Amino acid sequence: MKNNIFPNQEPEEYWKEKLSKEAYHVLREKGTERPFTGKFNLHFENGNYQCGACNVPLFKSSQKFESGCGWPSFDDAIEGSIKNVLDKSLGMLRTEIVCNNCGGHIGHLFNDGPTETGQRYCVNSLSIDFKKD
């Protein structure tokens, strides 16, 4: 993945060494994990969820909700942390969400959330980490 528009400009070799094979596949190759398998799907501690590649905070625990979709879901993101990208893969039109610092693939954004924002940031557990308050 070439990311000429993100502040954290590390070569792919750096990410291959830093990340596990599975995390690299999700964060750098836009992969996904199987639903209901991620460690943060049913995780509800107080703290911040950060990019699994560069550790920038992306979501607050207060923004997380149980969507039943099988992936961690958030109704908003920390301001300025996420970049929305048009995704035309798999014959669909979707909004991909990437880390605004390193360009790592985080998941997708849908407009079917149950809270007042109406948004559901559908996130791969392999693309995030958690820092407890």
Question: pLDDT, tens digit, for every residue of 32-77?
Answer: 999 999 999 999 999 999 999 999 999 999 999 999 999 999 999 9
Does 13 or 1 have the greater pLDDT score? 13
The H or E element spanning position 59 is strand 57-60
pTM for this entry = 0.92
Angstrom CA distances, 65 to 7, 56, 59, 96, stand at 30, 21, 11, 19
122 is catalytic: yes
Report all structural domains of the chain as residue ranges with CATH numbers, in order of start.
12-132 (2.170.150.20)
Catalytic residue among 51, 54, 99, 122: 122
Determine phi and psi for 94, rounding to 5 degrees: -135, 170
What span, in angstroms and rounded, lies between the C-alpha atoms of 20 and 46?
Answer: 25
What's the pLDDT at 79? 97
